[in-house]
Amino acid sequence: MPMAFVLINTEIGSESEVLNELKKIDAVKEAYMVYGVYDVVAKVGANTMEKLKEIVTWNVRRLDKVRSTLTMIVIEGQK
């Protein structure tokens, strides 16, 4: 299953709102508010790489109050 970690910067003070919206997206397997350069980290999975790209582009990045993202596509994982 294709998977990616998406690091998200939100508008100031909207971290909880973005986190709650992410949890409504079926492809978002996990999501956390974090300290540091980014505000939220989301683990996203899909059946195909094309679907994964579509979810990140059209569902995650387009959420209201998301300022920017950095997507790291997993190439190898734990078995």
* CB-based contacts of 36, cutoff 8 Å, min separation 6: none
Q: Give the domain ranges of the chain.
A: 1-44
**CATH (residue range 1-44):** 3.30.70.920
Sheet containing 3-10, strands listed edge to edge, beginning at the edge strand earlier in sequence: 28-33, 40-45, 3-10, 66-73
Rounded to whole angstroms, how far apart are CA atoms 11 and 16? 11
Q: What are phi and psi of 60, to 5 degrees?
A: -80, -55
The answer to whether the predicted template modeling score (pTM) of the entire model surpasses 0.85 is yes
Place of tokens 């989301």: 42
Q: Could you give the C-alpha distances from 27 to 11, 12, 20, 35, 52, in angstroms and in order?
A: 23, 25, 14, 24, 8
pLDDT at 78: 72
* Per-residue model confidence (pLDDT) at position 79: 66
* Mean pLDDT (whole number) for 15-41: 97
* Tens of pLDDT, residues 47-77: 999 999 999 999 999 999 999 999 999 998 7
> Which pLDDT value is given to residue 76?
82
